[in-house]
A and B are shown apart, each in its own frame.
Chain A
Amino acid sequence: MSDQQLKQQIKEMIVERLFLDADPAEMGDDENLMENYGIDSVNLFEIVVGLEEQFEISFEDEDFSVDLFANVNSLADFVERKRS
Chain B
Amino acid sequence: MIVTSIEERLVSFESGGEPLHAVLHLPPDAPTMTLVFSHPFAEEKKCAHRTMVEAARALADAGFAVLRFDHRGCGDSPGAFGAYDLQDWREDIAQALDFTAHEVAAPVGLLGLRLGATLAAQVAEQRQQTASLVLWEPIIDGERYIRQNLRRTMIKAMMTAHEGGEESDGAAAARASQAAGTVDFDGYQVSEPIREQMAQINLLDPPPACAGPALVLNISATGSAAEPMQRLADAYPRGEAISVRAEPVWQRIGVIDAEPIISATVEWLRRQ
The DSSP consensus for interface residues of chain A is helix
A6 to B158, CA, bound (A): 26
Contacts A44-B155, A45-B251 given; indicate if A64 touches B171 (C-beta within 8 A). Answer: yes
CA distance in complex: A17, B246 (Å)? 10
Q: How far is the CB of A77 from chain B (nearest CB, A)?
A: 18
Q: Are A19 and B158 in contact (CB under 8 A)?
A: no
Known: A61-B154, A66-B168. A41 touches B221 (CB 8 A): no
B263 in the interface, Cβ–Cβ < 8 Å?
no
Contacts of A40 in B (CB 8 A): 159
The distance in angstroms between the C-alpha atoms of A44 and B158, with both chains bound, is: 11
User: In the complex the two chains form, what is the Cα distance from A19 to B260 in whole Å?
Assistant: 15
**In whole angstroms, how far apart are the Cα atoms of A48 and B162 in the complex?**
18
Q: 1/0 per residue A13-46: CB within 8 Å of B?
A: 0001111000000000000000000001110111
Question: Quick check: is A5 within 8 A (CB to CB) of the other chain?
Answer: no
Contact with A along B163-181 (1 / 0, CB 8 A): 0000010110010000000
Q: Does B195 contact A (CB under 8 A)?
A: no
Beta-carbon contact of B159 and A41 below 8 Å:
yes
* Contact indicator A44/B221 (Cβ below 8 Å): no
Contact A45 B168 (CB under 8 A): no
Shortest distance from the beta carbon of B145 to any chain A beta carbon, whole Å: 13
Q: Are B159 and A65 in contact (CB under 8 A)?
A: no
The verdict on B156 contacting chain A, using a C-beta distance below 8 Å, is yes
Residue on B nearest A62 in the bound complex, by CB: B171
With A19-B247, A45-B155, A59-B151 in contact, do A66 and B221 touch (Cβ < 8 Å)?
no
Residues of chain B lying within 8 A (CB to CB) of residue A42:
251-252
Does B152 reach chain A (CB closer than 8 Å)? yes
Shortest distance in angstroms between A54's beta carbon and chain B's nearest beta carbon?
10
Return the chain B residue nearest A42 by Cβ.
B251
How close is B183's CB to chain A, nearest CB, in angstroms?
A: 14
Task: Kindly state the separation between the CA atoms of A83 and B74 in the bound complex, as whole angstroms.
Answer: 42
9 chain-A/chain-B pairs, Cβ below 8 angstroms: A41-B152, A41-B155, A48-B155, A61-B154, A61-B170, A64-B154, A65-B158, A65-B168, A66-B162
Residues of B whose CB lies within 8 Å of any CB of A are 148, 151-152, 154-156, 158-159, 162, 168, 170-171, 174, 221-222, 247-248, 251-252
